[in-house]
Structure 1
Amino acid sequence: MEIRRSLSARFLPLVLPLALIPAPAFAHGDHVHEGTSPWSMWSVSPEIVIGLVLAGWIYWRGARHDLAGDRWRMAAFFGGLFALFIALISPVEELADHIFAVHQVEHMLLRTIAPMLIFLSRPQAAMVRGLPAGVSRFFAGRGWLRAVIDGLRYPPVVTLLFLAASYFWMIPHYHDMAIENEPIHYLWHISLLVTGLLFFSVIFDRRTAPQGPGLGTRLAMFVAAALGNIVLGSFLTFKNVALYHAYIELGHMWHVSMLSDEQTGGIIMWIPGTMMFAVSALIVLYRFGSEEQRVTDQRLRAGRQLVVERKRNSTLAFGLGAFSLLMLAVVFSLVATIDHHPGGQRDFGMAGEIPG
């Protein structure tokens, strides 16, 4: 049992994506007709439903006896699965092919909200216990598989992958290609989900330094991810020409210009998307403070001198400073949004149409 627990933190980032990989539910590139109701656009895919149910069953099987007094963890995990359900099965999935802003909501669910909730629940041990013994033993080796996962979870590498998955698919050529081509769209979803799971598996790693990443490393990852969102979101918000034309080809909905749609999508990426990182950073700070308090209490009970008090205080001060920097970036983003537009607001319903 102890072997399974120790291995779970390293191998779950591979196990979960296999269980949750979004299979194609419909042919991307389908056109919609005028007057189509969004509530008729459910994308019920047996593969996705089975994947979500399987992940939930594995977790429940491994956690039901250990989380009697920790219900919030179970709620967080199933909240993450529900976010994937909204992104991949509800009308959000098909509307995303016809409305750029909705597409950004879908990607925020896939890339940030679902992975954040899943790993906030600390599901590693429960998932490994819930797997059949033969399957869990498959992941118990120390060969190339473990080396690959460890390499992908190295903080600079996973942060770069997390940002690259977002930026690459926003290049207009590849963005339009993925909207119109089902296998590429499938790969797009996988890349966002897998990099999100890897990223938040490091952020919410229960192990402290040196076994796990230190507080400064985690907050640096948050700042990099938040700044990546701010830069890309502000670019989409302030540009004055539409970049993505596949939505027009497939039937743009909601009677707004493509430019207005893309600007609204930029704001969604910029502000709500960045705030998800701020919330996660606050949770990490709280956990580190609680853990250091627990260690301090143990040493007091053992009658030891607290020679690390100064180190503890400096660590928390650094963490709070980094978190304040992140929050300031968000505030300046909001101020810039207002200051760059006459009257302090933008009328997105009246923004310019697609040129020519």
Structure 2
Amino acid sequence: MNLLYWLDPWEFSPTVVLALLLPAILFVRGASKAKVSVARRVSFWFGLVALYVALHTRLDYFFEHEFFMHRAQHLVLHHLGPFFIALSYPGAALRAGIPFRWRQRFVRPALALPFVRKLLDVVMHPIVAVTLFVGLIYFWLMSPVHFVAMLDWRLYRVMNWSMVVDGLLFWWLVLDPRPAPPARLSPGKRVLVVIAAIPPQIILGAFIFFSPRELYPIYSICGRAFTWLSPMRDQQIGGLLLWIPGSMMSVIGALVALRHWMRLSARGRVRGERRAMPASPTQADVANTASSTVGSHR
């Protein structure tokens, strides 16, 4: 077995190929025009490759037959991959990668539609963003829902893609390096939003880890990839993955958002601080001050 063996898809999906190939092409076309730094390029490609590995490789067999592997998959789909893509702040590069005529004819009119604007306002609202980010984890880990999702391949793909899309929306909102506006949230709110997502993940991970019974028997029914691993130990490892790495990713996100806040504050680009900053003296003020000084000396 070599690396190419593991990169070979367990089940070929043209949807995954197109969904990941399109942003890759746009980023390659637009990166030079938008002058994207090397660090941002590395971050983008790492996130995109991580999504491919979690969605379209032979590892998908193990994701379907071990609970802790499934949790590792969703850690990549919901946290790691979207985090690094959002960290690269690829919006300008992706925009530049779209032909100008297409932007004028299709992209801008679509984004200007009232329905699209309203939908973005709703999903990007801080309370809704946190609720969706945490709520999707809880929803797909409800025992009856998880049982059906792992049996129905269509629902299984909906589950995975819902984690990807929600992860991209959440981390894009939190890791936005710009001041507000044009960013949707102020730097301080971005920090609070990601911190608010930490306790529910810890609670759910601890509940799964300390549960005295098997919560997800679907893996025993369909057959486990690792027969040497007991169902309860598999479940405990899965709970730990949600409890510790999942929460730590949110902590790292909070630190990055805090760093953006401090950087913007140091440059005087935080909205409240801009109002509080004293206005620079005008030429008339300087002239009046000089006249007063000369008059006092006389």
Q: TM-score, normalised by structure 1?
A: 0.69
Deviations 1:230-263 (A, max 9, x none): 0110011111110111111221121211111011
The match for 1:272 is 245
AA aligned to 2:217 is H
Q: Is contact 2:74-2:163 (8 Å) kept?
A: yes
The match for 2:98 is 131
Query: What's the secondary structure of 1:91's corresponding residue?
Result: coil
* 142-151 or 254-263, which deviates more: 142-151
AA aligned to 1:188 is M
Whole-angstrom CA distance in 2 between matches of 1:168 and 1:181? 16
Query: Which 5+ residue runs of structure 1 have no aligned equivalent?
Result: 1-36, 297-304, 309-356
AA aligned to 1:220 is L
Whole-angstrom CA distance in 2 between matches of 1:223 and 1:263? 24
Whole-angstrom CA distance in 2 between matches of 1:182 and 1:243? 21
AA aligned to 2:84 is L
Q: TM-score, normalised by structure 2?
A: 0.82
Question: Which residue of 193, 197, 216 maps to 2:168?
Answer: 197
Query: What's the secondary structure of 1:94's corresponding residue?
Result: helix
Matches of residues 97-246 of structure 1 in structure 2 within 5 Å?
A: 97-132=64-99, 133=102, 134-209=105-180, 211=182, 212-246=184-218
The offset of 1:137, in angstroms, is: 3.0
The offset of 1:157, in angstroms, is: 0.7
Runs of 4+ with deviation above 6 angstroms: 37-41
Matches of residues 25-64 of structure 1 in structure 2 within 5 Å?
A: 42-64=10-32
Deviations 1:269-319 (A, max 9, x none): 1111111111111111112212222338xxxxxxxx9459xxxxxxxxxxx
AA aligned to 2:64 is D
Whole-angstrom CA distance in 2 between matches of 1:38 and 1:243? 30
AA aligned to 1:63 is A
Deviations 1:316-354 (A, max 9, x none): xxxxxxxxxxxxxxxxxxxxxxxxxxxxxxxxxxxxxxx
Deviations 1:33-79 (A, max 9, x none): xxxx98887444333223212110012212222325x1111111111
Query: What's the secondary structure of 1:97's corresponding residue?
Result: helix
**Cα distance change, pair 174–227 in 1 and its aligned pair in 2 (3 A):** same
The offset of 1:178, in angstroms, is: 0.3
Q: Is contact 1:41-1:94 (8 Å) kept?
A: no
Q: Is contact 1:97-1:250 (8 Å) kept?
A: no
Whole-angstrom CA distance in 1 between matches of 2:199 and 2:11? 33
* 269-278 or 201-210, which deviates more: 201-210
The offset of 1:110, in angstroms, is: 0.5
Whole-angstrom CA distance in 1 between matches of 2:28 and 2:181? 31
In proportion to residue count, which structure has more helix?
2
Whole-angstrom CA distance in 2 between matches of 1:169 and 1:186? 12
The offset of 1:203, in angstroms, is: 0.3
Q: Is contact 1:41-1:95 (8 Å) kept?
A: no
Whole-angstrom CA distance in 2 between matches of 1:199 and 1:256? 34
Give the number of the structure whose alpha-carbon radius of gyration is greater.
Answer: 2
Query: Which 5+ residue runs of structure 2 have no aligned equivalent?
Result: 270-275, 280-298
Q: Is contact 2:51-2:77 (8 Å) kept?
A: yes
